[in-house]
Amino acid sequence: MISTDVGAVVTRFAPSPTGWLHAGHAYSAIRAHDFARGAGGRFLLRIEDIDPGRSREVFVAGIEEDLRWLGLAWDGEVIRQSARFDAYRGALGALGSAGLLYPCFCTRADIAQAANAPHGSEGPVYPGTCRVLDPALRAMRMDREPHAWRIAMDRAVARTGRLHWHDQAVGEMVADPMRFGDVVLARKDAPASYHLAVTVDDAWQRVTDVVRGADLFEATHIHRLLQALLGLPTPRYHHHPLLKDADGERLAKRRGSKSLSDLRANGVDPLALADALRRGETPGL
């Protein structure tokens, strides 16, 4: 499951089982698969089922069936984030012990309604309401109210100093996590956010090259910070363009893009589809 050769290329495909895969997912999986195979490396499958309220076993089975249908084989066992909660709690504990976290009692509605709240690529930037709570009041509320854990971004950035990462498309990047504000790293219903879980798991699985869509490019600013804070290695990043349909819109679950299971049921040739996707084409999608 974990590579013992530090020089070996390792990529991963890490979908969330909250719906059926569509051709956009297939494109990303193919890019990661082909990159690893072309380098004689390993291609891993990780199920990011950190959200128990939305994850479904039927979608997990569908992900595996879709990849096999496309002719993509992964190495080792399939890792699930739902089995990794202790690792996330450990990382969260390390950040807490370093004085970099604080509890937040605000709801999404509270943040959206906050006066003059700036907006970033991930929505409203948290205005810092709970950072200035009286310590006694904070302790009392922690015993009585559900809360999330946020990172004190200014303290975190001061600790790491200037950080970089390399992206295949744009070259050397300077990390700028400050513009995202004090992001959530854990919620009352999940022991880790996407940012924390993916950072911990990529390091644990020794992923050397993260191949994913351009929609996750901005998240790398936060991931690079967490890598530095937790003493984890930084992989190379390959953010590929997103596939678009005949109307020029990106393929997405919420837009009703055709699922791979629908294409399979309609008799689509999987190898022809995979070859088209490798060329960046989406005929009939």
Whether the predicted pLDDT of 230 surpasses 60: yes
Global pTM reads 0.90
Q: What is the pLDDT of residues 18-57, one digit of tens each?
A: 999 999 999 999 999 999 999 999 999 999 999 888 999 9
Report the mean per-residue pLDDT for the chain: 90
Q: What is the 3-state secondary structure (H, E, C) of the chain?
A: CCCCCCCCCEEEECCCCCCCCEHHHHHHHHHHHHHHHHCCCEEEEEECCCCCCCCCHHHHHHHHHHHHHCCCCCCCCCEEHHHCHHHHHHHHHHHHHCCCEEEECCCHHHHHHCCCCCEECCEECCCCHHHHCCHHHHHHHHHHCCCEEEECHHHHHHHHCCCEEEECCCEEEECCHHHHCCCEEEECCECCCHHHHHHHHHHHCCCCEEEEEHHHCCHHHHHHHHHHHHCCCCCEEEEECCCECCCCCECCHHHCCCEHHHHHHCCCCHHHHHHHHHCCCCCCC
pLDDT bracket for residue 195 (50, 70, 90): very high
Q: What is the pLDDT of residues 75-132, one digit of tens each?
A: 999 999 999 999 999 999 999 999 999 999 998 777 777 645 554 555 678 988 999 8
Per the model's pLDDT, the better-predicted residue between 255 and 127 turns out to be: 127
Contact call for residues 283 and 79 (beta carbons, < 8 A): no
Low-confidence winner among 110-114, 142-146, 256-260 (lowest mean pLDDT): 110-114
Q: Which of 188, 244, 253, 258 is catalytic?
A: 253
Whether the predicted pLDDT of 168 surpasses 90: yes
Q: Which domains, ranges and CATH numbers included, belong to the chain?
A: 10-83+243-278 (3.40.50.620), 86-186 (3.90.800.10)
Read off φ and ψ for residue 36, nearest 5 degrees. Answer: -65, -45
pLDDT > 70: percent of the chain: 89
Active site residue 253: yes
Sign of CA pseudo-dihedral 230, 235, 236, 238: negative
